[in-house]
Each structure stands twice: as C-alpha cells, then as structure tokens.
Amino acid sequence: MYDIIIIGAGVTGSSVARELSRYNANICVLEKGEDVCTGTSKANSAIVHAGFDAAEGSMMAKMNVRGNEMMTQLAEDLDIPFKRNGAMVVCIHKEALDGLKTLYDRGIANGVKELRILNREEALEMEPNLSENVQGALYAPTSGIICPFILNIAMAENAAENGVEFRFNTQVEDIKADADGIWHLRTNNGEYTAKYVINAAGVHADIIHNMVSENKIHITPRRGDYCLLDKEVGGHVKHTIFPQPTNLGKGVLVSPTVHGNLIVGPTAVDIEDKEGNNTTAAGINDLIAKAGAHVRDLPLRKVITSFAGLRAHEAHHEFIIKEVEDAPHFIDCAGIESPGLTSAPAIGEYVGQMMKEKMELTEKENWISKRKGILNPQELSFEDRAELIKEKPAYGNIICRCESISEGEILDAIHRPLGARSLDGVKRRTRAGMGRCQAGFCSPRVMEILNRELGIPMEEITKSGGRSNIVLERTKGKNGGEA
C-alpha cells in the first residue's frame, strides 16, 4: 500500500509528486499514457503568465502569481530553459482602451509586479511588428516563456530520483474506499491501494472525481489549435503578444518560444471528446485571421507544424484544489486550465503543504532538490564540445539535423530516470524531430537507437505508446523476418 497515489503525470501531477518527494512517504504516480507529459501539458502556449487575467482573490490568481514567482528558482534548480521575455496585451480599438486599465488594476490586486500601461508609440517602439492599429498596451515584464515538456519531465525526473514510483500505461478504471478508508484503485494493470489519492488527471479529472463523489463536476475539453513557425522567423516579436481577453480566454497570442521558434495560438472550441486533439481547417484559418489583427506581416509561409491541445475547462473557470467533501483523503487538482503550466509549481507547493499537515509528514534529510538536464552540446564552447566528443564520441554523431541533436543527447534521454521509450518521448526530451523537417530524416535513426538500447523490436517501437507503431512488418514476408 502506498501512502499517496497521484493520478496523472502531467505538469500538475509531476509538480505535486516532486513537492511530496521531500517527505518520508511512499508515493506512486499512475499515468495512463506511456510517458510523462502526454496530455494537456504537452500542447499549450508554453507561457509563464504574469497573473493579471484571473479574478482577484481566486485560487487561479494566487497560484498563477505564486507560480510565476517560483519559476526562476525552479528553472535553475531543475535546469529548465526559461526566459522572462515580458508580455504585452495589445489594444487595437480606441474604445477598448479602458479594458487595459481594468487588466492593470486586476494585476495589481493580484500582486503582479512591474505592470505598466504603454501608449501607442511606446508599444510600437518596443515591438515594431505590432499592428498599425495598436492604441496602447499593458506591459508585463514578469511574463515568460518556458519549455513545457522539460518543466514537466524535470519535475517528474526529480520526483523519481527522490523515490517516487511512476507507473505508465496504467489507467485508473475505478476507485473505491474500503471500511478502513483505504482507497482501492482498479487499473488495467492490477489494483493499487493508498491512504490518500490526489486527482491530477487533467481533462479526465472529472471522471476520476466522479468515481468517488456524489457532487459531480464536469471538465470540458477546450480545444486550441496552434501553429509553430520556423526558427528563421522566431524573432518576429520579442514579447508575448496577447489580444485583450474575452470570456473564452486570453485569445490568440503570438510569441517567441524559449527554443527560438514563433508560436501562434490558441483558438478556443469546447468539445466533448477528451482525446479530441485534432486540428481543424476552420480552427487554423480562424487562428491566422485572429493573430493577424495584432501582429503585422506574420510570416505564415514559415509554419513548420500545427497542433491542437486541450485545456481542462471547468464551468466556474477556477482551479479546484481541495479535499473532496464527501470523499475524505481524496484531493482534487481539477479544472487546471491556463494558467495551469505557470501555476504548477505553486499547486505542488500548496498540495505539498496540505498533505504535510494532513498526514503529519516529516522531511527527508537527503532530499535532492536539483536535477541536471540533458547536456546540450550547442551551449558549449568549441573547445569544450570537441573535448566532450573525444570523451564520448556519441556526441559527435548528429541524428536530428534540423535541431542538431546528437546521439549522445538521445542516449541520455533514454537512460536517465523515467527515460524515453518512444519517438515522441525522445522528441520531448531532446527536440530531435521537432525541427523544420518534422522528424522525416531522424525517425528511422532514432528508431534504430531505441531498438539497440532498449531491445524493443523495430515493429514495436511507437510514436507515443499504445498502437502508434511506426512500421508494420519486415518486407519480404516470412523470409524477411530474420535479419
């Protein structure tokens, strides 16, 4: 039996796992995907929001502002690419200028620092590619950009290093409490038991919650389409550019990514299918039309991929982070939509504190607070890189030519804690396959490495677990089977 089971290895579950790994407790994370970061956490804007959007006094506002504050230290501790590039909410209609003041006031009330309202000239000077129609902007220097995969992966790796167990491909099918109040979780991989359960199941958090509570909740998957543009045009804007928000959210942003691409998105469409992360022609067209309103000359010829993500939208647009009233020892982290990524460290801290008090947990003496990321040889000097290759020749073998990712980095991604087992797993950890050729060149080569290192037959190597096999069979039928 575990002391605590966390359902979901997304950014929320992983953050909670890391915070709890400080304490002497038996902890397990159950994840239905084949890896960490396979749901909402993998497809979002990758923005560390300043915190002026959420309603004053809301959990969302508190977590956002606290998460933003924590991010600098966390990024340093866990070796995560993070940059405070600042955000601008751009007003393009004179009559809407008051809206900027409203946002500003809300931001101040929420505790956002350094907010400033810019006039048209100031805004254009800071960001020359803003629309001609710009009337003014709210400037939030504390806003940042981060690698959402690495944030999630780093927290999970660190938790694992501190003793948290992770079970992948493990879907929770039913949860019941026995007479002693012990939770029994039935999964496709057998039964798990725990004293406490933390529900961090993203868009599925309602299903998990509703297994144990009569007070039903409903999470609506809110789909957002994105376009990712080539690094060649990553500098089209320097700041994260938002339109003024509407009741559907923060609108279509244009932003550099921490890796130097340009991202445009998301749309906002409420759907029913909790796995419905398909892009639509209407969505992409809508995106392009909307983004063009605030940023001029968007170089859309340079799109290298489009994708869609699902936000876990709860009807009250508020984070639900508390013990479920009619299910003692069952804690929800539900409705974690944007700014969920920003808030994740704060949610972890909050839940960690909550659990410490509830379970009277004691701190480990030897807790490891730092995690070393995958070595990026591109950040080394010529001499250091040459030295590295001399020592470890795999770093001299480029596998992904678009992003210049070497075999050494891929080997690291495979062999570190919670290592990659699929093409997407390698991609999220190393960026191999994330460049302009979108894995055309490197896929067969990464497959060979996975095959060699993990002994997974080529036919069983997947893009992202499940039935996402890349190749079906050997050519030449039976005869071709033996290699």
Q: Which residues bind another protein (CB under 8 A)?
A: 227-228, 232, 275, 277-281, 283-284, 303-307, 382, 385-386, 389-390, 393-394, 396-398, 401-402, 404, 407, 436-438, 440-441, 443-444, 458-459, 462-477, 479-480, 482-483
Q: Is the dihedral of CA 68, 73, 75, 81 positive or negative?
A: positive
CB of 394 to another protein, least distance (A): 7
* Alpha-helical runs (H) found in 302-394: 340-359, 382-391
CB of 482 to another protein, least distance (A): 8
Nearer to another protein, 106 or 222 (CB): 222
> Which residues lie closer than 8 Å to 135 by C-beta, 6 or more apart?
91, 92, 93, 94, 96, 97, 120
CB of 459 to another protein, least distance (A): 8
Tell me which residue of 396, 392, 385, 401 sits closest to 446, measured CA to CA. Answer: 401
Residue 303 and residue 233: Cα distance in Å, rounded?
10
Nearer to another protein, 143 or 277 (CB): 277
DSSP string for residues in 52-89: -SSPTT-HHHHHHHHHHHHHHHHHHHHT--EE---EEE
Question: 49, 209, 259, 294: which one is catalytic?
Answer: 49
CB of 243 to another protein, least distance (A): 22
Residue 6 and residue 22: Cα distance in Å, rounded?
15
Residue 321 and residue 404: Cα distance in Å, rounded?
41
Nearer to another protein, 256 or 465 (CB): 465
Nearer to another protein, 321 or 446 (CB): 446
- Dig out the tokens for 124 from the structure: 């254009």
- How many C-beta atoms lie closer than 10 Å to residue 111's C-beta? 16
Nearer to another protein, 133 or 464 (CB): 464
CB of 3 to another protein, least distance (A): 34
Q: Is the dihedral of CA 107, 138, 48, 72 positive or negative?
A: negative
Q: What are phi and psi of 408, to 5 degrees?
A: -60, -45
CB of 19 to another protein, least distance (A): 32
- How many C-beta atoms lie closer than 10 Å to residue 308's C-beta? 21
State the DSSP code for 47.
E
For 135, how many CA atoms within 13 A lie in the half-sphere containing its CB? Answer: 13
CB of 469 to another protein, least distance (A): 6
Nearer to another protein, 365 or 382 (CB): 382
Nearer to another protein, 255 or 342 (CB): 255
Whole-angstrom CA distances from 195 to 23, 180, 351 are 15, 9, 15
Q: Is 49 a catalytic residue?
A: yes
Reduced to 3 states (helix: H, G, I; strand: E, B; else coil), residue 239 is: coil
Q: Catalogue the active-site residues.
A: 49
